[in-house]
Structure 1
Amino acid sequence: MNTFNELFRKRVGIPQDEVITFDNLDRVLEKTAKTIPFENLCIIENRTQEITKENLARKILQHNEGGLCYELNTILYLFLNENGFNPSLVRGVTYNHMNHQWSGTGNTHVVNLITYNGQAYIVDTGFGGNLPLKPVPLSGETVVSSNGEFRVERAESEHGDYKLYMKLNRKDEDWKIGYAFNSKEPIQTISELNEVQKIIMEHPESAFNKKPLVTKITDKGNVTLTDTSFTQWVNSTLTKENIDEIRFHEIKKEYFKL
């Protein structure tokens, strides 16, 4: 039986003998983002399972599916933990820019926190097409990646003590809020994430329990699939194709290996 560490490395294409350090975490994040899609198909197809290390390994690392933030950042948490880091998982709330308000599902975004040389960083692989692709320090310093610019600033509010801001390539001219999170209340056990999954599955304001969504970062941008459309950002060019159910399954297999 392969270990979780071996399975993760095989899934995202990291050599089994490569030592994972803070300096190559950006490579880990980029490979993960370009390999494992952000998707809600288990919820739409009513086949969710309890959130456990074994179930996540089976679903994402062996069956080659994707997942939502509470799944994707948890497998990253487990991988980091097995490679000498001391990560913690914290909860946050995303900002809905169409409605100009915080998500009605509350603090259901899950993200990793690590500390390196006395500085805390968020490490996020579960934010769809908005991924920083690099650790982002909680110092307010701007991090630049192939996906845009990102920074975390201290901001005490009912939603936590920090906010992530982003300015995505191709999409944003100005900074916008990604999410707020609470660094002071780490998740104690993975089993707590079953509460998050239950909210995402059942809440009337959940964005992930109504129609399929599959998205992934690519070398040239990103691709996003719903039940009615397929959108591609290639370099700075946007194309959108209206699709039917047959085309949905073709694209799901061709672009996302699902």
Structure 2
Amino acid sequence: MNNINILFHNRLGIPYNEKITFENLHIILEKTAKTIPFENLSIIGEKTTEITEDNLVHKILQQNEGGLCYELNTILNLFLVENGFNAVLIRGVVYDQMNQKWSTTGKTHVANLIRHHEQQYLVDTGFGGNLPLRPVPINGEIVASNNGEFRVDRIESEHGDYIFYMKLKYKDKDWKIGYALDSKDVIRTLPELNDVQKTIREHPDSAFNKNPLITRLTDKGNLTLTETSFTEWVDGKLNKKEIDKQSFHDIAEKYFSL
């Protein structure tokens, strides 16, 4: 049997006796974003496994790897539930900023909804460098963290009943759509996530099945590694350099422990 609570505390470097509450959940979200990378190496390396609790625990909490939204938010969900949170996984459709349209891969984004004092909040640790580091109430209220501002508005569409907006610090002057989410499309069992993984792995329009991508937040910004470049944001300043294949592996190990 997996003790997700102990393993998650260990991965984040948090004392096991530190109680996790709604009031300090932002600390967990920040530590998760800065510790566990968003990455697609198992997709690119054709090493994906079935989505089960055992496999997620082994990959993320024992092997110290990262993952994509359906892995990162699921392991977070298991941890939250074990700590007494009323948390469920829901689906969403990402907005393609580059092409200004909704992703044709459909409802392949997976995030958490938690209920606290009769209010629902979006909790997401699987959206790359665009993470709200605090729970975001789904009532339009703006939430700020050290990487930007975030809100969730009630907007009915073919993709769901809410839309997540973001305005990233140093990067966005105006609000941008992150994704639509469907609060009614709750993922009831982990095997449902295998369909999400299959789509991301095989769909021709998937953003994650063509080239490797690794990113995580830092205390002063974020790091992003691709096959051809390494980008560092530090206090709003961008430093980007071109790299080769060997450099990719060296940087992945040095900065992401992968």
Q: Distance in 1 between matches of 2:114 and 2:3?
A: 23
- Residue 4 (structure 1) aligns with: 4
- Residue 103 (structure 2) aligns with: 103
Q: Could you tell me the TM-score, scaled by structure 1's length?
A: 0.99
Q: Distance in 2 between matches of 1:165 and 1:79?
A: 26
User: What one-letter code is carried by the residue in structure 2 that aligns with 1:9?
Assistant: H
Give 1:86 deviation, angstroms. 1.6
User: What one-letter code is carried by the residue in structure 1 that aligns with 2:231?
Assistant: T
- Residue 179 (structure 1) aligns with: 179
1:25 counterpart SS class: helix
Q: Distance in 1 between matches of 2:17 and 2:76?
A: 18
Deviates more, 1:182-191 or 1:53-62: 182-191
Give 1:25 deviation, angstroms. 0.4
The question of whether the paired residues in 1 share the 8 Å contact of 2:93 and 2:106 is answered with yes
- Residue 116 (structure 1) aligns with: 116
The question of whether the paired residues in 1 share the 8 Å contact of 2:111 and 2:122 is answered with yes
- Residue 151 (structure 2) aligns with: 151
User: What one-letter code is carried by the residue in structure 2 that aligns with 1:168?
Assistant: L
User: Which structure 2 residues correspond to residues 94-243 of structure 1 after superposition, within 5 A?
Assistant: 94-243=94-243
Q: Which runs of 5+ in 1 are unaligned?
A: none
Q: Which runs of 5+ in 2 are unaligned?
A: none
CA 166–18 in structure 1, closer or farther in 2 if over 3 Å, else same: same
Q: Distance in 1 between matches of 2:216 and 2:48?
A: 21
Per-residue Cα deviation, 1:105-131 (whole angstroms, up to 9, x for no partner): 111000000011110000000000000
Per-residue Cα deviation, 1:136-163 (whole angstroms, up to 9, x for no partner): 0001000000110000000000000000
Q: Distance in 2 between matches of 1:14 and 1:70?
A: 24
User: What one-letter code is carried by the residue in structure 1 that aligns with 2:44?
Assistant: I
Give 1:12 deviation, angstroms. 1.0
User: What one-letter code is carried by the residue in structure 2 that aligns with 1:103?
Assistant: S
Q: Distance in 2 between matches of 1:38 and 1:185?
A: 24
**Residues 1:26 and 2:26 aligned together:** yes
Give 1:2 deviation, angstroms. 6.0
Q: Distance in 2 between matches of 1:129 and 1:7?
A: 24
Per-residue Cα deviation, 1:5-32 (whole angstroms, up to 9, x for no partner): 1111100112101111000000000000
> Which runs of 4 or more aligned residues in structure 1 lie more than 6 Å from their structure 2 counterparts after TM superposition?
none
Task: Number of aligned residue pairs: give it.
Answer: 258
